[in-house]
Amino acid sequence: GIQVEQSPPDLILQEGANSTLRCNFSDSVNNLQWFHQNPWGQLINLFYIPSGTKQNGRLSATTVATERYSLLYISSSQTTDSGVYFCAVVVRGSTLGRLYFGRGTQLTVWP
Amino acid sequence: GAVVSQHPSRVICKSGTSVKIECRSLDFQATTMFWYRQFPKQSLMLMATSNEGSKATYEQGVEKDKFLINHASLTLSTLTVTSAHPEDSSFYICSASSRETSGSSYEQFFGPGTRLTVL
C-alpha cells in the first residue's frame, strides 16, 4: 500500500516562531488532507489540498503532486497550535475514499 | 458546515458487556462513514468502511463479530463493541464523507471521538 511519511516526528518551538511540516507519499493521490488533533482528540480539518497552495490565516499549505509531497507552514506560532498534525491521502483510483495517515508531527509551542 | 458528532464521548464498562457508539453527520448526508481506532501516541488505524444500506468492509485483522457496524441511514452509523475486554480499551473515532460536500474528492470530516475504558 501507499506509504505516507511525515517529518519531523517532534517539534518544539517558542511562541512566535515559524515552522514547516513535511508529508511525503509514495503514490499518486486524489486527495490530501492536513489535520490538527487537539489535546482532547478532536481532528480538525486544516486543508483539503491535493495540489496547489492554500492559506488560512497563519497557516498555509502547498502540495506538489508530481513530486509527491506536501508542506504545512505555521507562522507566528501560538501555544494553542500545540498538538499533533496529521497528513492523510486518498490513493488515486480509490472507490471509497480510504484515507492513509502518516504518523504525525507532535508540535509543542512554549510561551 | 460538515459537522460530525459522536456519542458518547466517554464510556466505562465492565468486561463482558457490549457498548454502542453512535456517529452522526449533522448537516450533510454521508455517503460513506469510516471507523478508526487510535492508541496513545499513535496514528489512526482504520477499522472499517461503511456505505449506507450495505455491509461494512473491514480491514484485515479486525474481527467482524467483535466490532459490529451498522450504517442504517445517510446520517447515522453505529459501532458496537461486543463482549468488551480490557484490550478493547481505546479511542474510537468516526468520520464521514459525502459527494454533497466534496464531489469526488472524498474529503473526510471527523467526529470528536469516544474514549472506551473496559474494566
Per-residue pLDDT of B14-69, as tens digits, reads 999 999 999 999 988 888 999 999 999 999 999 999 987 788 999 999 999 999 99
Confidence of residue A67 (pLDDT cuts 50, 70, 90): very high
List the single residue in B with minimal CA-CA distance to A30: B105
> What's the pLDDT at A65?
94
Reply yes or no on whether the pLDDT at A63 is more than 60: yes
> What's the pLDDT at B103?
53
DSSP string, chain B: ---EEEE-SEEEE-TT--EEEEEEESSS--SEEEEEEE-TTS-EEEEEEEETTSPPEEPTT--TTTEEEEEEETTEEEEEE-S--GGG-EEEEEEEE-HHHHTTS--EEE---EEEEE-
DSSP letter assigned to residue A9: S
Helix (H, G, I), strand (E, B) or coil at A24: strand
Residues in A closer than 8 angstroms to B109, CB to CB, are: 45
User: What's the rounded mean pLDDT across residues A4-27?
Assistant: 97
> What's the pLDDT at B51?
85
> What's the pLDDT at B28?
86
User: What's the rounded mean pLDDT across residues A50-73?
Assistant: 97
> What's the pLDDT at B101?
53
- Residue among B38, B44, B77 with most chain A CBs within 10 A, to mutate: B44
User: What's the rounded mean pLDDT across residues A102-106?
Assistant: 97
Matching residue, cell 486524489: A30
Rounded CA separation A22/A74 (Å): 12
From chain B residues 47-86, the ones with a CB under 8 A of any chain A CB are 49, 51, 57
User: What's the rounded mean pLDDT across residues A36-51?
Assistant: 94
Average pLDDT, chain B: 91
User: What's the rounded mean pLDDT across residues A35-63?
Assistant: 96
> What's the pLDDT at B31?
84
Residues in B closer than 8 angstroms to A33, CB to CB, are: 107-108
Residues in A closer than 8 angstroms to B97, CB to CB, are: 97
Answer whether A95 touches B (CB < 8 Å). Answer: no
pLDDT in tens, B56-93: 999 999 999 999 999 888 899 999 999 999 999 999 99
